[in-house]
Chains A and B, each alone.
Chain A
Amino acid sequence: MEQQHHHEPLLVVNNLTLKHQGAAATTTILRDVSLELRRGEILGLIGESGAGKSTLGNAVLGLLAPGFSQTGGRILFEGLALNELSDKQRMELRGRRISAIFQDHTASLDPLMSVGSQIVETIRALDDGLTSRQAKSRALELMQRVGIPDPALRFRHYPHQFSGGQRQRIVIAIALAGRPDIIVADEPTSALDATIQKQILALLRNLTDETGVSVMLVTHDMGVISEIADRVIVMRHGKVVEQGATSSILDMPAEVYTKDLLAAVPRLRLPPASSPTNDVPRSADPQANIVPQTKLDQNPILRVKDVTKTYAGRSFPWLRRGPQSPALRDVSIELVRGSITGIVGESGSGKSTIGRIVAGLETAGRGSLDLNGRQFDISLAGKKNGLLGQIQMIFQDPAMSLNPRMSIGAALEESVWFGSRGSPSDRQDVGEMMDCLGLPRSLLLSFPHQLSGGQKQRVCIARALLANPSIIVADEPTSALDVSVQADIVRLLKETVSERGVSMLFISHDLALVQDLCSEIYIFRDGVVEDAGSADFIFSKSQNPYTRRLIDARPGRFTH
């Protein structure tokens, strides 16, 4: 029976216009948006921040935030105009017919309720006729379905006892509990590591194929789209730019914006599949994998040796469960003067911890740090170890690393003052720096919230450079930015390093980004250096299975 309906659209959006009434002005979020969602398909909505794609998802769910109002057009679900329904009718549709998966798996679940109860309460809210025993057995079935091992045991566990990927599986199980026709998935994998992301996307694809549910997949990531979407709608500034089958959009984009979007995605360039086996495998010792010539040629500006860091447990460490694994174990890295070295790993691999230790923001239990031939005591943090200021950091979220009450000019001046360390000849000019980084000087009097994400990150880079550092540690500096902005920032970092002779540690989870940027790469896993070598070695020659897995896990067909 389902086959008959297969090509009839389940959801039709007709000339939808949505406005947001802000404190100061009314802005149009969606303008004349029209689309169709068919049964059993995954429709990708892609666009950069501000494109209105999430708002569209919320409108379909009937969960628009206060201030948003629909001023034109209609959303038809099986011929039913959603905006004409009462709140109660909308509530009855949610979960049963249209459900949702959100980006943040941690925030989506109530921390105080066991996951089993959260699934059961959903099942019972949607189907009054079930006894609690029936609801529980259905919940266990759903947990099994989404790939939670040992559901009977896990049923009683709380969200914090699950890994990120498993939490998102639970969220998917809840979304499926009412056997909905549509799932609105808003960035369902953006908060997950690449390998986990791949598994969750595969799960979504399987569920769509098996149950015939339709998925409206909202994302900013072309990789995710190319992995599972049947059709794509490209959105920009609240309008539909282009739509079509995924393969045709990816291979033959008609619009300039789509082409730009595709071009901005960092891609892995891999040699033909046969090449790894052609080379003689190198020694299994990761330290020996570092291409020897760099070691001979240059004397590294930074040499970190055998760093071990263990996080102290709670105030009663003898009560903790099981042995504690250190955050870092015997980690050694070197940074060649005037180069960019990449540190890559998944979350929890210790990649940010080593960055923070190098910057003097955290202490390490054991190990040595040698900067410009001088030894520093890394068991001390901050001012005491003398590192502070010689190494500057650029953080992931520029919005959170600028003081909201300080003007851009004041923030930069502070850095100049700090960087000159009392000698006037070392003072750099703020205006010149802004010109170099493509920031209009008129921004000096502005405050962070008045700047775009890309501008804020440029300010952070300027702030780091003005302090005259020997090394910059950049911890995921582009992860919070749109892809097109991301490309600009990467270019800027590259130029900065080559023109100013600064050295940089670039920490990222994204291999493709690192390949573009770095000459040396360290792969971190569970607090140890799993693999290391020149970019060329890592991508084409390394035999390390974990490295191979990371390279393979990147979603998308861009590697072809």
Chain B
Amino acid sequence: MVSAIIGRLSQAFLLLLVMSVIGFIGIHSVGNPVFNLVNAETATPEDIRRATVALGLDQPVWHQYFRFIGNVFTGNFGTSYIYHLPAFQLVMGKLPATLELAIVAMMIAAPAGVLLGLLAGRRKDKPVDRTILRLSVIALSIPSFWLSMMLILIGAILTGWFPSGGRGPTGVFLGTEWSFLTLDGLRQLTLPALALALPNVALIARLTRSGTIEVETQDFTRFCQAKGLSPRRILFRHTLPNISVPIVTIIGMQFGGMLAFAVVVESIFNWPGVGKLLIDSIQLLDRPVVMATLTFISIAFVALNALVDLFYVVLDPRTRRSA
């Protein structure tokens, strides 16, 4: 067990290292941040030179990279060029907004997707199944900016049920501000959460459907029928656990994606989350914030993967070793 954890940790470490190299080279090649920091109209070449030296941008890339890595080991991601705040603190400040959006979206997507998938799988090739399949193709193929705008059009402009954007009032919990604690906050959350959830409903439903069809052809579900169990019990107590490994895997991956890359939805709904911070920072060439965000995202993915693995072990007795 201990060695498995050590193995996992060293893998994660390697992953972070590779990611940091790619991220660093990437952001380096986008452009020189100095021109965003000095006033391009009035700055003299001397001002630019001094700013460059102050930020350490006169050094070769590998030198800059090693200095960055060295700082990271001391827990310092640098100071944002734009906000003049510690970069990691800035990312953590945006986290609650993203976290609650992703959690609410997944709380809609996972149950809805699984139920629709089970229904479609049980009624294979029947009208219900075909309808679910077609809708899922639509939900997967429409771009998320269009979906977001339609949700705003229908949910906010035409009916006026929900606000069209922004985070609104928040309640304080564990020293941070959360929207889900107030009724208004929940109304603010609804539309962006739906925009994130719908494609995932479709994805999870399709996965569940194909799993259900596969498991239902196996002998043990036939044997369950032969021993007199009701179809509903077979579906929820036998079929569902047996198809849950791929479903939980995809839920984990998609959740990670929501934390990091809900850029379009966060931008359209003006939701102050991590994704929006990342895209803004890339545009402003705010290197410390970009690197801090990327590092956070990598850690989040590694942690989610570990949770999914843990779930396998809890679920499947064959992967457990009795003491």
Contact = CB atoms under 8 A, between A and B. Distances in A.
Interface of A: 61, 63, 91-92, 94-96, 99-100, 102, 104, 107-114, 121-122, 125-126, 158, 160-161, 171, 174-175, 177-178, 184, 316, 318-321
Contacts of A161: 317
Nearest to A117: B237
B138 interface: no
Interface stretch (B31-39, B63-71, B214-222): B214-222
A114 B316 CA distance: 11
A92 B228 contact: yes
Contact of B225 (A63, A104, A171): A63
Given A92-B228, A95-B226, A316-B3, A108 B219 contact: yes
B223 A100 contact: yes
B2 to A, nearest CB: 9
B242 A110 contact: yes
B318 interface: yes
B125 to A, nearest CB: 9
B227 A99 contact: yes
A91 B228 contact: yes
A37 to B, nearest CB: 17
Contacts of A91: 225, 228, 230-231
Contact of B228 (A102, A107, A122, A319): A122
B171 interface: no
A112 B315 contact: yes
A174 B238 CA distance: 15
Contacts of A126: 228
Given A160-B317, A316-B3, A110 B225 contact: no
Interface string B300-323: 000000000000000111100110
A95 B223 contact: no
B121 to A, nearest CB: 14
A109 B318 CA distance: 13
24 contacts: A61-B226, A63-B222, A91-B230, A94-B225, A95-B226, A100-B226, A102-B219, A102-B226, A107-B218, A109-B223, A111-B317, A112-B241, A114-B317, A121-B237, A122-B228, A160-B318, A161-B317, A171-B223, A174-B223, A178-B227, A178-B228, A316-B4, A319-B3, A319-B321
Contacts of B3: 316, 318-319
A104 B228 contact: no
B25 interface: no
A190 to B, nearest CB: 13
Contacts of B227: 94-95, 99-100, 122, 125, 174-175, 177-178
B228 A95 contact: yes
A113 B238 contact: yes
A125 B317 contact: no
The 10 A-B pairs at the shortest CB distance, nearest first, are namely A95-B228, A107-B219, A100-B226, A158-B317, A108-B223, A94-B228, A95-B227, A122-B227, A112-B241, A110-B220
A320 to B, nearest CB: 8
B1 interface: yes
B182 to A, nearest CB: 41
A110 B226 contact: no
B229 interface: yes
B216 to A, nearest CB: 11
Contact of B229 (A107, A112, A122): A122
A125 B229 contact: yes
Given A158-B317, A319-B3, A109 B228 contact: no
B241 A104 contact: no
Contact of B233 (A109, A125, A160, A321): A125
A100 to B, nearest CB: 4
Interface in B195-241: 218-220, 222-231, 233, 237-238, 241
Nearest to B1: A319
Contacts of A316: 3-4
A112 B230 contact: no
B73 to A, nearest CB: 29
A109 B220 contact: yes
Contacts of A92: 228
A158 B223 contact: no
Residue from B223, B225, B229, B237 whose CB has the most chain A CB atoms within 10 Å: B223
A175 B225 CA distance: 11
A112 B220 CA distance: 11
A218 to B, nearest CB: 13
A125 B226 CA distance: 12
Contacts of B4: 316
A102 B318 contact: no
Given A91-B228, A100-B226, A125-B227, 5 more contacts: A63-B222, A94-B227, A107-B220, A111-B242, A112-B316
B153 to A, nearest CB: 44
A414 B204 CA distance: 44
Contacts of A171: 223
A211 to B, nearest CB: 17
Nearest to A61: B226
Contacts of B322: 321
B230 A110 contact: no
B228 A96 contact: yes
B50 to A, nearest CB: 55
Contacts of B321: 319-321
Contact of A125 (B218, B228, B315, B318): B228
